[in-house]
Structure 1
Amino acid sequence: MTDDVTRPGDSLSRRRLLGAGAAALACLGGPRPGLSAERVVRLSYQRSSTLLTVLKTKGTLEERLKPLGFAPSWHLFTNVIEPMNAGAVDLHADVADAVPIFTQAANAPLTFYARERGAPSAEAIIVPDASPIRSVADLKGRTVGVSRGSGCHFILAAALKRAGLSFGDIKPAYLQAPEGLAAFEQGSLDAWVIWDPFLAIVQGKRPVRVLADATGLSSYHRYYLANDRFVAAHPEVVATVFTALAEAGRWVKAEPQAAVALLAPIWGDVPPEVVATVNARRSYAVEPVERGALAEQQAIADTFHEAGLIPRRIEATAVPIWQPAPGRG
């Protein structure tokens, strides 16, 4: 199954995107009965959204948002770019540093409101341990699985460039993470570029070799974005979610065993040691977004433009940013 993330320049119209986003929400059940639609905060998350998963499982946002007259409505996505471009939810899943490049190129009305400090070892290019592939240069002519538009997409592009290769030298297989996991385990891929928790899951199942992680290529910051209109209309909600995320990040690091116990069943009864590996590699340090710290985003944007993945050069630092009041978080 190939990845169907909509990229800038694709023929999908905004109307179709909105329809797809609405259909996805409908399939996921939409707002819970009894919640007034105009007071619901729609949040998306994905399997790698550890801190949002913690808040959802603990019911933290239900408690914190109630005094403000809001209640959260949760929506799980594997394809995050399409709902981000379509405005299908209010507060979006935390995404790897490369994802906002695609949404920015698509002129999606999104505001950065938080950043999770980098963790470059949490994404990597891997091969089976018995593979004859020993370096990134050896990927020439090989089938490499990657999720289109993800941080790993950038890691692969940058690693290939460093090795004197390009996407034209490999056979990219654009797969969402769950499909990529299945393909890698079945031997359909020569290599796979993937992030935690999927990276730790496959490392826990079979011997694999890391050809390269993001070190020296990307810091692998994760960003939290929200729809512009929602931020403008409800900054108090954004501030509440920001504070809750920061607290959740501190809790995961301060209470590692409790965090493992909470997350393992949700991730499909993943062995505790795998969850512990994920939590050790990720920083979970939530902080405000500073424009001066977005320089790495420009490098990603330029790489994607050079590779023809976005149709025009963008100013990656020219994005709307929300910041908390001093001392918040």
Structure 2
Amino acid sequence: MKALFSRRTLLGASLLPLLPEWPAAAAEDTGAVDGNGFSTLRVGDQRGGVRSLLRVAGQLEGLPYRIQWASFPVGAPLIAAIGAGALDFGYVGDATATFAFAAGSPVRAITVWTVDGVSDALLVPESSAARTMRDLAGRRVAFVKGSPGHLLILAALRRESMKTEDIIAVPLSAANARSALANGSIDAWAIWDPYAAMAELQDHARIILTAHGVIDEVECGIAGTSAISTRRAELTDFMARVGRAVAWGEAHPEERALGFARDTGIPIGVARRTVSRMQMKPLPSVTDTAIVTHQKVVDLYHAAGVIPVDIDVSRFYDRSFTIPD
């Protein structure tokens, strides 16, 4: 069991094997397309969520630069692509960002969102008798390595005064874990929306806990160090557009859900539930409180043996960006 949470998880198993997924990412150009003096900002997105929100909120109109999009199923390959210079920017959870920071990847968090945590969940089959993390002692619990789901498991174990060895940890991709939960190969799955909403609505899985009240989290806007030097204006404008789109989405949840469903192919019921639980607030600049929240995530990972050193996460935040309204 210990090998599942060893140093190999950080440097060998979490990020590097995901690099071959880059060519499979769907890329698309939007905005100014004539190429006459327009720069290009290369943005990674998870399941098209940010792009869809920007589109439905009208924030892709009048761009003074081009956006080249690449869509990924989860955050680890996205941030790995940024670190390798294949992308300029993307949003990932602090759990995922921690792995890149600890690995010394040339990336920085340049913006941060507060996160409520209700969209990160631990699910069990409908027929399961489990009601708490303690009920899963000795059971097979799946998660995506280095993800918010991984973090949720560690935090839930800590709250119950349990150790990682008290469960059978099963690192799986989101797609494989969903199938495994449905066919009984695993006993629980820690995942986030829209995957959690799909499992609930389509597979009749049941949520036994969420990250809300278990672990505080932040969402990080991650940029490559080269992009920070060469694409500052584009990054600032893009983050401002995302902030306005998030505010619009809060006021128009049905339109946001319809746009998300249309752009990604997710069923409208799943989209509605996902939107209802995505309670995030972009901050105008990086705050001390956000860094403290992230540091607690780092400390939990270190205490569990997931990362080899307890890094000072503040070193990986670039506080020079202020996001206009």
Matched, 1:190 2:192: no
Q: Return 5+ residue gaps in structure 1 as ranges.
A: none
Residues 267 and 220 from structure 1, CA distance in 2 versus in 1: closer, same or farther, beyond 3 angstroms?
A: farther
Residues 189 and 8 from structure 1, CA distance in 2 versus in 1: closer, same or farther, beyond 3 angstroms?
A: closer
Matched, 1:239 2:241: no
Q: Return 5+ residue gaps in structure 2 as ranges.
A: none
Letter in 2 for 1:80: G
Task: Tell me the SS of whatever aligns to 1:10.
Answer: helix
Letter in 1 for 2:85: G
Q: Is the 8 A contact 1:98 1:149 kept in 2?
A: yes
Superposed counterparts of 1:36-47, under 5 Å: 39-47=39-47
Distance apart, 1:238 and its partner CA = 1.0
Residues 137 and 75 from structure 1, CA distance in 2 versus in 1: closer, same or farther, beyond 3 angstroms?
A: same
Distance apart, 1:129 and its partner CA = 2.5
Q: Is the 8 A contact 2:124 2:130 kept in 1?
A: yes
**Count of aligned pairs between the two proteins:** 312
How well do the aligned residues superpose, as a CA RMSD in angstroms? 2.9
The C-alpha deviation readout for 1:272-310, integer Å capped at 9, x for no partner, is 333222212112422122134211211111111122111
Q: Which residue of the partner structure matches residue 270 of structure 2?
A: 274
Residues 61 and 227 from structure 1, CA distance in 2 versus in 1: closer, same or farther, beyond 3 angstroms?
A: farther
Rounded Cα–Cα distance in structure 2 between residues aligned with 1:289 and 1:98: 17
Superposed counterparts of 1:45-64, under 5 Å: 45-47=45-47, 50-55=49-54, 60-61=59-60, 63-64=62-63
Q: Which residue of the partner structure matches residue 291 of structure 1?
A: 288
Which structure features the higher share of strand residues? 2
Tell me the TM-score normalised to structure 2 length. 0.85
Tell me the TM-score normalised to structure 1 length. 0.84
Letter in 1 for 2:234: V
Letter in 2 for 1:183: A
Distance apart, 1:190 and its partner CA = 0.3
Q: Is the 8 A contact 1:7 1:102 kept in 2?
A: no
Q: Is the 8 A contact 1:42 1:89 kept in 2?
A: yes
Rounded Cα–Cα distance in structure 1 between residues aligned with 2:172 and 2:297: 20
Rounded Cα–Cα distance in structure 1 between residues aligned with 2:18 and 2:37: 19
Bigger shift: 289-298 or 187-196? 289-298
Bigger shift: 201-210 or 147-156? 201-210
Q: Which residue of the partner structure matches residue 78 of structure 1?
A: 73
Q: Which residue of the partner structure matches residue 200 of structure 2?
A: 203
Matched, 1:248 2:245: yes
Q: Is the 8 A contact 2:41 2:231 kept in 1?
A: no
Bigger shift: 317-326 or 291-300? 317-326
Residues 83 and 56 from structure 1, CA distance in 2 versus in 1: closer, same or farther, beyond 3 angstroms?
A: farther
Letter in 2 for 1:90: D
Rounded Cα–Cα distance in structure 2 between residues aligned with 1:140 and 1:275: 33
